[in-house]
Structure 1
Amino acid sequence: MDAQQNNALTCALAEVPGPLPASGVIHIVIPHTSRFTVVGNHLAQHPGLSSTAVGIAVRIQSLPQGADVGIKALAARFPEGETRIAAALRELEAHGYLRRTRNRLPSGRVVTRTVFCNQPTALLRPRTAAPQPPPAPLVPAPAPTPASPEPQAPQAPAALAVPEAPGPAPVPEASDRPSAAPEPRPPVVPMPVMVPPPAPASPPFVPLSTAPKPPPRPLPQPRELTPELHRAAAALLSDLRRHAPQFVLSESDVRHLVPGVAAWLEREAHPDTIRHALTDDPPQPLRQPAKLLRHRLTALLPPPLPGAHGLAPVRRAPATPLQTCDGCERAFRSPTPGHCRDCRAEGARTAA
């Protein structure tokens, strides 16, 4: 009755649309509105990275530019020690997510420059310049047509009148003055638009080489590949598909892997133990079973069984017994009774 129940999660689970799966994870997705980082599935589900490396990569992506991502700075944030964090950073370097270089500043100080790429596979593809929109055609503006003078109405003939005495000539009003036609203006030609030439396509960016990968370890070899060992190893490899159908091997794969299985059998490993170690929890989907078997035969090789001499208990040297000094009665370790070191030194000083 004292167990605390998460009622909010139960209510949210009831609102998930669609039928719920019978097993496995059930996602309750609440969209983020602030303080979130986009992480690709190529990193979150990377088959070659450990969980420590994936977590550190997500941590580095969430930090701002210029943040310290050294081993000591990350060890102060994570419960893992510096050894595991250094190994995780080497994993990220090997897969192209991280690159660390040492640069010398003008002051003479050597600093480490760290470059992190959230999608290293995109750097291997050639990058082309964005397509430029086609330039607009140069169409000259239509020239304005000159204004034509308005046609004047025909005037009626003046009537005959008796001439009068000359007087001052009347000044015509503004409305009676004939309107002069406006002069036509020259057409305006628009200036041509200078379109810059398209930028040349940038060459493909290839990242600098990261830490070199160590060479693969050789397949284990038995001390002596006897016909019995060869037959037993070949039979065990050919029989794997009965227990795990995805482990279907060709004849050439069986011939190549026989020495590794023979080395396990030579070290007195039980066939069921070998079968379980080789086929347990394979990746899905399994595309190259022969490479997986070669890796597990090499990485999981057990040591030879110790002999009877190796299992014998370690004998300790007998402890030196305690003695009581005849002079000062202090306890000291010595195989024979007598005086302690101080009393022997005092006696020698007195005799001198």
Structure 2
Amino acid sequence: MDTQQNTALRRALAEVPGPLPTSGVIHVVIPHTDRFTVVGNHLAQHPGLSCTAVGIAVRIQSLPQGVEVSIKALAARCREGEKRIAAGLRELEDFGYLQRVLERLPSGRVVTRTVFCNQPAALLHPRHPAAPRQPAAPAPLPSPEPAPTPPPEPEPAPAPAAEQPMPPEQPVPPDAPAPEAPAPLPVPPPLPLPQAEPVSLPFVPPPTAPKPPPRPLPRPSDPTPELDRAATAFLGDLHRHAPRFMLTEDDVRQLAPGVAAWLERAVHPDALRHALTDDPPVPLRRPALLLKHRLTELLPPPPPGARELAALAHRPRTTVTPFQTCDDCDRAFRSPTPGRCRDCRDRRSEPIRSAA
């Protein structure tokens, strides 16, 4: 009585088909009816992925569309720490299961899109839309049983040949055309089968697709020593305002022309600092690459020159006559100078008539 017997497990083992193996795992397969996710063996038995990466992939695949799967969001759901989750995401990214793509919104903000593919090997082969399903032919209706037919009535005896009048035969001319056979009725064409609309799948480039070359870092049109010193001082002081943007001396030397191009376009240093350091990705691995990307993609247009400002200042303007208040009747009227309205001026100009 010391060993606790699990009768449910013994009953399940008894229902396993075939002989049980002498060693190794025994599978008790119970079909799922709801809340399940299909996972391929290429992921569950991947030789290059760790168990942590496989578990993170299964967790991401079981989540619905639109759920955040960042490192902090996964750390809040799982027991693993942020370092193990980040390492597992990098493994999935190396083998093509996970892709993180930078996308620029219409507002100018750059966000990271996370795309998970359950079969990355299938992206390398062209996909064809599924063939339209042919409608099944209707099953033949069961033929009704024939009703019992009444016995045939006896036909009347034919009359003698002498009593049956024969119609007179009409002579047929020799050149008369032979009677034409009736034309067959036209067969209507078959109705076209409804075509199934092709399933629209989001285009995700394969991991081996060639990437476009990056845009070069902007440079000032008129480089001066003052601009170079201001840009170098800006980059060297950047970590005081954003501690995660700690740059090396080589990074400052490479990024200085891009900052000089912004300063040449009359951008205030505070506005430039906010544009470069606001809302960085988590975790921030290489701050110099992020600064180079933002310096290139968010470059503002050059300010208008003296000719454009002069043309804007000397454009023709429409003169609007201001409102004035009448000194006599306090009525509003349009006039360049204050005074009396037209009615009050006419009334004062009329001669005074003497009483009869």
How high is the TM-score relative to the length of structure 1? 0.39
Larger radius of gyration: 1
- What TM-score, normalized by structure 2, do the two folds share? 0.38
